[in-house]
Structure formats: C-alpha cells, structure tokens
Amino acid sequence: MDNILGQIRPLDPIELQLLDAQGCVLVEDVTVPLALPSFDNSSMDGYAIRAIDTEGATAEHPAVLTVIGDVAAGAEELPAVGPGEAAAIMTGAPMPPGADAVVPVEWTDGGTGDSAPATAMTRHTSGEVRVRRPAEPGAHIRARGSDVAAGELALASGTVLGPPQIALLAAIGRASVRVRPRPRVVVMSTGSELVQPGEELAPGRIHDSNSFMLTAAARDAGALAYRVGAVADDAETFRTTIEDQLIRADMLVTTGGVSVGAYDVVKEALSEIDFRKLAMQPGKPQGFGFLNGTPLLTLPGNPVSAYVSFELFVRPAIRTLMGVESVHRSSLRAVCAEGVASSPKAKRQFLRGRYDQARGTVSPVGGAGSHLVKALAHANALIVVPEDTTEVAPGAEVDVILLD
Ligand SMILES: Nc1nc2c(c(=O)[nH]1)N[C@H]1C(S)=C(S)[C@@H](COP(=O)(O)OP(=O)(O)OC[C@H]3O[C@@H](n4cnc5c(N)ncnc54)[C@H](O)[C@@H]3O)O[C@H]1N2
Ligand code: MOO
C-alpha cells in the first residue's frame, strides 16, 4: 500500500463553482469579507420597539404602542421608531433606527384589540398594538457580526467541503473556490464471459457486476467515475480500449485477467505494470503501475477479491489524489463472538463481517469464497485475520475495518 501511495501525488488545484466543489479539499484559506450577519436583524416576526416602552407591561396592563410601519426582510427604507412607537417586523428584516428590541407577535394582541395572543396571521401593521410582556434591550435581535466578524478565517485550507461548508461559502458571497478536483476514475472489466445486466445469459455466461460495483465504490470514495463495459479477452482490443480512455482518466482501474489463466489478457497487454501475488486472501493477484503517467491498478476478477482490493488499495489512492488527510477507512477492535474456524496460514485474511456497534461485536457473513456477492452485500465491515493466525477462538478480539 505504501508502495502505491508513495507514488501518487494529489491533483493540481483548480477553481470550481460551489456545487462542483462538494466533497473536494479546499486549497486556500478563505477569509470573511463582510460580517455575518451584515446588519442587526430580527429573529422573530413581531414588533420592533424601544425596550423602555414595555417596562412593566402585563396582560392586564399592556404597553400600548402606535404602529408606524412594516419592515419586511430585504427592506431598504426603514421607519424610525420613536418613543411610544412600534414597527411591525419580519424575521431577518433589518432593525429600524430607534428600536432596540423585538417583541414576538405572540406577546402582543397583533393590533386586534383581542385578549387572545396574536399569531403572525392576525398581526396588523398600523393602528395600535398592545404588548403584554416587557422586553430586555437587545431581545430577539441578531447582532451584526454575531455569526462571524469581517476578516476572520471562515475555512482553512485542507477543509473538505460538505454541505455546511458550502453554506458558509455561499453566505459570505463566494461563488467559486480553489480546490483539488475530484479524480476522474475509469473502470473497465475484462472477460469474454461477461454480459451486461438486463441482457439474457447464455450458458456459462455471467453478468458483469464488478464494473458496476467498482464504479459505485469509486464515486463513494469521492471520484467522478466512468464505467467502461466489459472488454473481451483479447490483449490487443484491451490495450486499445484502455489507451483510448487515458484522455479522461486521472486513474484507471481494471478487474479480471490477472491470474495465471490462458486468457489473462491484462497481464499480457500491460508490460509496464508490476504484477504481484500478495500474501492476502482475497485479493492475491494485483498489479500497479503507470500508463503514460496515469496510475493504473489491475484488480482480480473474483467479485469479492475486486471489492476488498478496491477498499485496501484503490480507495486510499483516490483519496490521495483528492488531497484529503484521512485516506483510510476507520478501524477498531471488536469481539468476534462466533470466532473463525480456519484462516489460511501465512496470508492476511479479510473476511466479510457484520459489525454491531451497540454490542461491540462482529460476526462473519458468509464464508471465505471470493465469489460470495450476496454475503458481501450484507456485510458492513471486514474482519482482519493476521498472517500468523489460523483460527480465532469464539469471544476473541479482532481488528475490524468499517465499510460505512
Ligand atoms: N491456477 C490458478 N488459478 C487461479 C489463481 C492462481 O493463483 N492459480 N488465483 C485465483 C485467484 S486468488 C483469483 S482472485 C482469481 C483472479 O482471476 P483473474 O483476475 O484472472 O480474473 P478472471 O479469471 O477473469 O475471473 C475470475 C472470476 O471472477 C469472475 N469475474 C471476472 N470479472 C467479473 C466481473 N466483471 N463481474 C463479475 N464476475 C467477474 C469470473 O467469471 C471468474 O469466476 O484467479 C484464481 N485462479
Ligand atoms: O485471492 Mo483471490 O483474490 O480471492 O480469490
């Protein structure tokens, strides 16, 4: 893994529109040009008043104020509120001069003269309003700069832009930001036995599930992923197809054709790739290298092998291209209540498991077979059985990699 990550550099930053930058890493310190909020405004629908005018107000002895106008959110012309006066005001509307507090409409009669508490629906914007509770100066006012002051750091370089960060950028008026782009990852499957989902299976054929799984996994990791349908077992066709994809790829991922079979075309077609057998199960045959400078990872064809390989090698590589700090999935220790009856000697095994957070336990799902797609679909974790361990006793602790 270190071997792969050591050779991959984060993509060069570009300026992207806010929504295109979602999930990307910021590569500039963003400062706030204008205080937020940029003006004192009301946090309630009600009346802007002078607090002193409501001193001692009760339901029996309300403060009676003259309504001199209405301030809506976005209002530019503001009425000045003098002694004994009130201006109807909406949430988010600027505080009119003279007023130093807001009484919510529920504290008033809304100008109706009724004894029942008013609602926004019955609120009047002229005449008189009865205020039945005193307000402190500053009540229900969101002060200018109370969120963030002008000149403060809004977001530091290195921040991953999720929805709240995008909200902040939009709030301070930024339409675009400098980020590392999402890597473009091209996924290709190989095998003349592969048929696309939706098409009928002839005898001996199987549906191409790997290219869908890996494209989805690449997207999940943060990439812009392109799925290329299955390429037949022909080295020349494979080579031409993959070279054609280079133009739109920051990384290439293939699946199948890397073991020792007669039709293992990936190995045959890519002399520049370093193919190895790793001491792990699943995921033994792997390849990594560069094609015209673009990183290429060749994963095995067995579906579970392809998925585990993606999690261990491709996902961290994608996240390295993105420039994020944490490239690895989180892992923890958990009690393996059922244990593992047998694990291959001198190989690190990655069993599919179901982790129960409340109990702190993990149970294997399905067996060790690399073709068990259904078990994979019901797993949320990988149980790691080290090289020197050939069985795990029931109740023993194991390392667990969380998949969600
Ligand atoms: N004699 C040996 N045979 C095998 C060895 C070995 O060391 N010696 N290694 C085994 C291991 S481990 C793995 S993993 C596989 C890797 O095989 P390939 O990468 O060459 O993949 P294929 O032979 O093309 O296919 C293997 C298997 O996976 C199915 N497959 C392939 N592509 C897809 C796809 N897109 N969607 C769904 N399923 C796919 C394919 O039909 C085969 O069943 O080699 C072992 N053999
Ligand atoms: O090691 Mo292969 O990668 O499972 O079945």
Q: Over the stretch 240-262, which tens digit does the pLDDT of each residue have?
A: 999 999 999 999 999 999 987 77
**Which residues have a Cβ under 8 Å from the Cβ of 273 and sit 6 or more positions away?**
266, 267, 287, 288, 289, 291, 296, 298
Residue 270 has pLDDT above 80, yes or no: yes
As for ligand 2, residues whose beta carbon falls within 6 Å of it are 281-284, 300, 302, 305, 370
Please give the average per-residue pLDDT across 68-78, as a whole number: 90
Mean pLDDT value across residues 150-167: 97
CATH 1.10.1740.10 fits 331-402, yes or no: no
CA of 238 to the centre of ligand 1 (A): 17
Over residues 124-149, the pLDDT tens digits come to 677 999 999 999 999 999 999 999 99
Nearest CA owner, ligand 1 atom 4: 259
Q: How far is the CA of 312 from the centre of ligand 1 (A)?
A: 18
Q: How far is the CA of 203 from the centre of ligand 1 (A)?
A: 18
For ligand 2, what atom is nearest to the CA of residue 280?
1
The pLDDT value given to residue 114? 76
pLDDT band at 25 (very low <50, low <70, confident <90, very high): very high
* 1 pLDDT higher than 80: no
Give nearest CA residue, ligand 1 atom 25. Answer: 301
Contacts (Cβ under 8 Å, ≥6 apart) of 371: 302, 303, 304
Cα-to-centroid distance, 300 and ligand 1 (Å): 6
Per-residue confidence at 123, pLDDT binned at 50, 70, 90? low
Residue 113: is its pLDDT beyond 80? no
DSSP letter for 384, please: E
Question: pLDDT tens for residues 220-241?
Answer: 999 999 999 899 989 999 999 9
pTM of the model: 0.89
pLDDT confidence of residue 188: 97
CA of 176 to the centre of ligand 2 (A): 45
Alpha-carbon gap, residue 167 to 173, rounded angstroms = 10
Q: How far is the CA of 287 from the centre of ligand 1 (A)?
A: 14
* Burial grade of 306 (CB within 10 A; 0-12, 13-18, 19 or more): buried
Q: Which CATH architecture has domain 184-322?
A: 3-Layer(aba) Sandwich (3.40)
Residues 13-33, mean pLDDT to the nearest whole number: 97
Per-domain residue ranges of the chain: 2-36+151-180, 41-142, 184-322, 331-402
Q: Find all residues with CB under 8 Å of 167, minimum gap 6, and list them.
A: none
- The arithmetic mean of pLDDT across residues 294-315, rounded, is 97
Expressed in angstroms and rounded, the spacing between residue 258 Cα and the centre of ligand 1 is 8
Distance from the alpha carbon of residue 268 to the mean position of ligand 1, in angstroms? 15
Ligand at minimal distance from the CA of 255 is 1
Tokens representing 70 are 């209405």
Nearest to 235 by CA among 275, 267, 199, 193: 267
Taking CA atoms, 142 is separated from 37, 39, 146, 200, 213, in Å, by 8, 8, 7, 64, 49
Which amino acid is residue 384, in one-letter code?
V
CATH class of the domain defined by 41-142: mainly beta
Nearest of 349, 358, 365, 359 to residue 399 by alpha carbon: 349
Ligand 1 pocket, CB under 6 A: 189, 191, 193-194, 206, 208-211, 255-261, 264, 282, 284-285, 300-303, 305, 370
ipTM, 2 dp = 0.98
pLDDT of residue 121: 54
User: Does residue 288 register a pLDDT over 80?
Assistant: yes
Of 108, 113, 124, which is closest to residue 54 (Cα–Cα)? 108
Residue minimizing CA distance to atom 1 of ligand 2: 282
Number of CB atoms found within 10 A of residue 40's CB: 17
Element (H, E) at 318: helix 315-322
Mean pLDDT for 302-329 is 97
Query: Which of 276, 280, 302, 385 gets mutated to test ligand 2 (max ligand atoms within 8 A of its CB)?
Result: 302
Ligand 1, atom 42: nearest CA belongs to which residue? 302
Token pair 């079979």 in the structure block, residue: 261
- pLDDT range class, residue 45, cuts 50, 70, 90: very high
State in Å, rounded, how far the first CA of the chain is from the last one: 21
Confidence of residue 13 (pLDDT cuts 50, 70, 90): very high
298 forms beta bridges with 254, 287
How far is residue 255's CA from residue 305's CA, in Å, rounded to a whole number? Answer: 10
In whole angstroms, what is the distance from residue 292 CA to residue 5 CA?
Answer: 18
Taken in order 193, 194, 200, 201, the sign of the CA dihedral is: positive
Does CATH number 3.90.105.10 belong to domain 2-36+151-180? yes
Helix (H, G, I), strand (E, B) or coil at 187: strand
